[in-house]
Structure 1
Amino acid sequence: MQIFYFSLALVLLLNLVAGMWRVVSGPTAADRMLAVQLLGTSSVAILLILAHATGNPALADVALVFALLSAVTTVAFVRPAWRIKEGKNDSH
């Protein structure tokens, strides 16, 4: 069963490579941000799979920290864009 978990982690690592290509070549900032979200989600999945496969619960804790950092990064990216959009809608 561990071979299955490690091969699944390898597939997710290949997913990370594809996501890094989108971060580098993404035409817009939104595309790059979505690719970074993909990287965060994939890294959390890899860490959870490896935690289960190796029996190391510390990897699950690291995965939770990555999930929180991913959410905070998204909010930090969206807030300035939201403020600009609100400023354009005010026509006083």
Structure 2
Amino acid sequence: MSVFLVAVGAFILLMIGLGLVRLLRGPSAADRMMAAQLAGTGLAAVCLLLASASGMSAIADVAVALALLAALGAVALSRHAGPAREPGE
């Protein structure tokens, strides 16, 4: 079973790598934000798979921290790159 979990983790890492291409080349801030969100949640998923495969519960704590940082990063980017406001609004 652990070989299957590691294989799924490798597949998710491959998908994260493809998402990083969009992060670097994304034409808009929304594309970059979604790619960063994909990377954060994907890495959290890989950490949870590794925690399950190896039996180390400390890796699950790292996954929770990564998921929290990904959510906070998305909020920060959406507040920073939100719609432009006219002066006086």
TM-score, normalised to structure 2, is 0.90
Structure 2 equivalent of residue 71 of structure 1: 71
Q: How many residues align?
A: 88
- Contact between 2:29 and 2:81, CA under 8 Å: does it hold in 1? no
Higher relative contact order, structure no. (Cα contacts within 8 Å, ≥ 6 residues apart): 2
State the Cα deviation string for residues 44-65 of structure 1 (Å, max 9, x = none). Answer: 0000000000000000000000
Q: Which runs of 4+ in 1 moved over 4 A?
A: none
Amino acid at match of 2:12: L
For 1:36 and 1:80, locate their aligned partners in 2 and report how far apart those are by CA, in whole Å. Answer: 15
| Structure with the higher helix share, 1 or 2 | 1
Gaps of 5+ in 1: none
Structure 2 equivalent of residue 41 of structure 1: 41
Structure 1 equivalent of residue 80 of structure 2: 80
For 2:80 and 2:3, locate their aligned partners in 1 and report how far apart those are by CA, in whole Å. Answer: 45
Amino acid at match of 1:29: A
State the Cα deviation string for residues 17-37 of structure 1 (Å, max 9, x = none). Answer: 101111111111110110010
Identity %: 43
CA-based RMSD of the aligned residues comes to: 1.6
